[in-house]
């Protein structure tokens, strides 16, 4: 059956209208889906002006500060008085003598130190460098026991048979050995054999040469009675008495020597204690001042 031209036109228009409505419906659906997705995405975003909260940082507990009380600065103390002499004896008033011992330390020095301690006497030792190096413990005890220590060359060499430079270098080497053993800066020097001259004295800067005015001759006689007689009978106020701690008989004579000197009114002190002022370097002394009065 054939339709008329009007029928064909209506069918064609009807098909186009259906396609138009379908397209519009598809577009609306797509827009709806997109709108829903956009709304969901916007909901996930943080609100404007609000920072995203971060995980709290781990905190470390610090100790509480300690309240330290500050001390007030101490008031300056008054100037201390000058230290007394080692013996505490004023040798300008009381007659004093000094026992001195050369050539050690030796195998006898320990016994001599024991005897001096028993008798309550402080003495002066003039050690050789070689013996000080060999017996540092004995040198240390000499100082710790309150005795005075000086040098006596390295190996008992005659200083006048050397050049001044060599003699003083030898003396410095000896002082180094004494300092290493005891910590004492030995500024006193006894020239071996009492042999010296002004050129050597000037060259040995910082040293005081200590000689003697009483020789007990212990090194020669080795006799207890003769040693005692020389020490007691030949002494005067301020005397420096020469003895040797290498001589066993000297140790045996010591109680009689000390007793005899004390009976004559003498105080027994170190060489430094004979003087009212510190010993100045660059001088040679044979005795202390002839001052003081023996006690009755």
- Domain residue limits, the chain: 96-285
- What pLDDT score does 5 carry? 44
Strand 96-102 with 240-244, pairing: parallel
pLDDT of 67 = 45
Q: What is the pLDDT of residues 212-239, one digit of tens each?
A: 999 999 999 999 999 999 999 999 999 9
Rounded to an integer, what distance in angstroms lies between the CA atom of residue 142 and that of residue 104? 11
d(CA 110, CA 54): 83
Could you tell me which residue, 276 or 223, shows the higher pLDDT?
A: 223
Whether 271 has a pLDDT exceeding 70, the answer reads yes
Tell me the Cα Rg of the chain. 53
Q: What is the pLDDT of residues 94-114, one digit of tens each?
A: 999 999 999 999 999 999 999
Above 80 in pLDDT, residue 161?
yes
Residues 96-109 as b or e (16 or more Cβ within 10 Å = b): bbbbbbbbbbbebb
Question: Strand pairing of 267-269 and 208-210?
Answer: unpaired
Q: Kindly indicate the confidence band of residue 34, based on its pLDDT and cuts at 50, 70 and 90.
A: low
Alpha-carbon distances, residue 4 vs 7, 10, 13 (angstroms): 5, 10, 15
Copy the structure tokens of residue 103: 């050539």
Residue 147: is the preceding peptide bond cis (ω within 30°)?
no
Phi, psi at 244, each rounded to 5°: -135, 130
8 Å CB contact between 268 and 124: no
The mean predicted confidence, pLDDT, of the chain is 82
What pLDDT, on a 0 to 100 scale, did the predictor assign at position 288?
95
Which residue is associated with the tokens 């660059």?
282
Q: DSSP 3-state assignment of 294?
A: coil
Cα(237)–Cα(287) distance, integer angstroms: 9
Q: What is the model's pLDDT at position 87?
A: 66
Cβ–Cβ < 8 Å for 266, 292: no
Percent above pLDDT 70 for the chain: 70
What are 263's two structure tokens?
């009976």
For residue 289, what are the CA distances in angstroms to 182, 209, 233, 268, 273?
29, 16, 18, 14, 11
Point out the least confidently predicted range of 67-71, 146-150, 175-179, 209-213: 67-71
Which position has the token pair 């050129």? 199
What value does the mean pLDDT take over residues 118-139? Answer: 98
Give yes or no for a contact between 214 and 241, defined as CB atoms under 8 angstroms apart: yes
CATH class for the region spanning 96-285 = alpha beta
Q: Are 142 and 126 in contact (CB under 8 A)?
A: no
pLDDT in the model for residue 142: 98
CB 132 within 8 A of CB 104: no
Beta bridge partners of 127: 151
Residues acting as catalytic residues = 102, 244
Q: Is the pLDDT of residue 295 over 50?
A: yes
């Amino acid at each position: 059956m054939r339709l008329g031209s009007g029928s064909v036109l209506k069918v064609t228009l009807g098909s186009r209208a259906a396609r138009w409505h379908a397209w519009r419906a598809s577009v609306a659906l797509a827009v709806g889906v997109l709108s829903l997705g956009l709304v969901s995405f916007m909901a996930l975003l943080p609100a404007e002006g609000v920072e995203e909260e971060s995980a709290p940082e781990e905190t470390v507990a610090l100790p509480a500060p300690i309240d330290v009380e500050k001390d007030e600065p101490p008031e300056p103390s008054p100037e201390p008085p000058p230290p007394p002499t080692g013996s505490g004896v004023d040798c300008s008033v009381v007659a004093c003598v000094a026992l001195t011992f050369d050539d050690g330390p030796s195998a006898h020095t320990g016994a001599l130190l024991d005897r001096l301690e028993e008798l309550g006497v402080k003495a002066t030792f003039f050690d050789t460098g070689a013996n000080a190096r060999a017996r540092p413990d004995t040198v240390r005890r000499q100082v710790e026991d309150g005795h005075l220590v000086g040098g006596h060359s390295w190996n008992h060499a005659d200083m006048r048979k050397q050049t001044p430079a060599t003699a003083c270098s030898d003396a410095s080497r000896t002082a180094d050995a004494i300092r290493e053993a005891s910590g004492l800066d030995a500024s006193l020097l006894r020239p071996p054999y009492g042999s010296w001259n002004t050129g050597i004295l000037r060259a040995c800067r910082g040293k005081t040469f200590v000689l003697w005015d009483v020789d007990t001759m212990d090194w020669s006689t080795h006799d207890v009675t003769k040693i005692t007689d020389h020490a007691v009978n030949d002494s005067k106020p301020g005397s420096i008495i020469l003895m040797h701690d290498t001589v066993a008989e000297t140790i045996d004579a010591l109680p009689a020597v000390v007793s005899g000197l004390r009976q004559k009114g003498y105080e027994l002190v170190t060489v430094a204690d004979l003087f009212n002022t510190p010993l100045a370097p660059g001088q040679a002394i044979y005795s202390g001042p002839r001052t003081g009065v023996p006690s009755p």
